[in-house]
């Protein structure tokens, strides 16, 4: 038996990256999965989920559009017979500095990452309040809890997701609803690959070394943390921002030589 066998799960951003990985893992662990995205999910994902015993239930929606979100979530709840857990993985990135950042670009990034999180939470919570149970996992970022240069709109939106999560945990705990968020480091997804396309040649390695494990994370590693938060193993966890970051937020590692010279064999 899987860790969430017989439960129902709604995953947003299901067509790639973290959302796709969550859909696969949740299905492997016995959940019936419904997906929401602006793009059709890969054919292979549907086949893999079908192999677990359930068909993928998919709904197309732009998470900035409240009517579309409301309709998609109601349809998913109907198809699944209720929504036990949600992983809101849909998001976007951007770059720029404040004095030259176009207002439309600010709106795009904030609307997708923060407003979208609010809209998904709003319409999922309607169902969970009726059930008097549920687990909602939002996806923030390490850049939602620490600063990051040249991404003021992304930082602001992801920081807002953390505080939104805490507010929701406070307001809905009395209904048996747990609300948490994940704060991934840099994860090897199509979104990160697109960001790196126009970056300097050494940018990838410098970004990897900013993590104490000196590599990017894998979507499957974030999915494992999301599964934990939605499972009974986390039954007393709510209002928590869990970093899945390979040590990115552990501190600043200075490349200082030890007395007598640096010994790379010493941790």
CATH of the domain at 40: 3.40.50.720
Active-site option among 54, 154, 172, 175 = 154
Q: Which domain holds residue 23?
A: 8-243
**Residue 97 DSSP symbol:** -
The answer to whether residue 194 sits within a structural domain is yes
**Quick check: is 228 in a domain?**
yes
Tens of pLDDT, residue by residue over 101-152, are: 999 999 999 999 999 999 999 999 999 999 999 999 999 999 999 988 889 9
Domain assignment of residue 250, yes or no: no
Q: Is 190 helix (H, G, I), strand (E, B) or coil?
A: helix
* pTM assigned to the model: 0.93
Is the pLDDT at 199 greater than 70, yes or no?
no
Structurally, the chain folds into a number of domains equal to 1
Residue 77 in domain = yes
pLDDT at residue number 74: 98
Residue 165 lies in a domain: yes
Residue 106 lies in a domain: yes
Nearest to 133 by CA among 124, 142, 141: 124
**pLDDT (tens digit, 9 = 90+) per residue, 43-64?**
999 999 999 899 999 999 999 9
For residue 265, tell me if it sits in a domain. Answer: no
Task: Examine residue 114 and state whether it is found in any structural domain, yes or no.
Answer: yes
Q: Is 172 a catalytic residue?
A: no
């Amino acid at each position: 038996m899987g860790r969430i066998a017989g439960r129902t799960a709604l995953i947003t951003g299901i067509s790639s990256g973290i959302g796709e990985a969550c859909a696969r893992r949740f299905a492997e662990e016995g959940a019936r999965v419904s997906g929401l995205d602006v793009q059709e999910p890969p054919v292979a994902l549907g086949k893999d989920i079908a192999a677990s015993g359930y068909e993928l239930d998919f709904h197309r929606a732009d998470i900035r559009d409240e009517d579309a979100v409301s309709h998609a979530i109601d349809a998913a709840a109907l198809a699944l017979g209720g929504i036990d857990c949600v992983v809101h993985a849909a998001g976007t990135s951007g770059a720029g500095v404040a004095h030259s950042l176009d207002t439309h670009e600010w709106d795009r990034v904030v609307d997708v990452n923060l407003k979208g999180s609010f809209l998904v939470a709003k319409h999922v919570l309607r169902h969970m309040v009726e059930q008097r149970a549920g687990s909602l996992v939002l996806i923030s970022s390490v850049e939602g809890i620490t600063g990051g240069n040249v991404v003021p709109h992304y930082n602001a939106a992801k920081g807002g997701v953390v505080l939104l999560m805490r507010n929701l945990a406070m307001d809905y705990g009395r209904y048996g609803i747990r609300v948490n968020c994940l704060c991934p480091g840099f994860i090897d997804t199509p979104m990160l690959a697109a960001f790196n396309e126009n970056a300097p040649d050494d940018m990838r390695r410098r970004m990897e070394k900013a993590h104490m494990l000196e590599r990017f994370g894998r979507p499957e590693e974030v999915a494992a943390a999301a599964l934990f938060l939605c499972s009974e193993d986390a039954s007393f966890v709510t209002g928590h921002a869990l970093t899945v970051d390979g040590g990115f937020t552990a501190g600043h590692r200075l490349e200082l030589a030890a007395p007598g010279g640096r010994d790379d064999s010493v941790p």
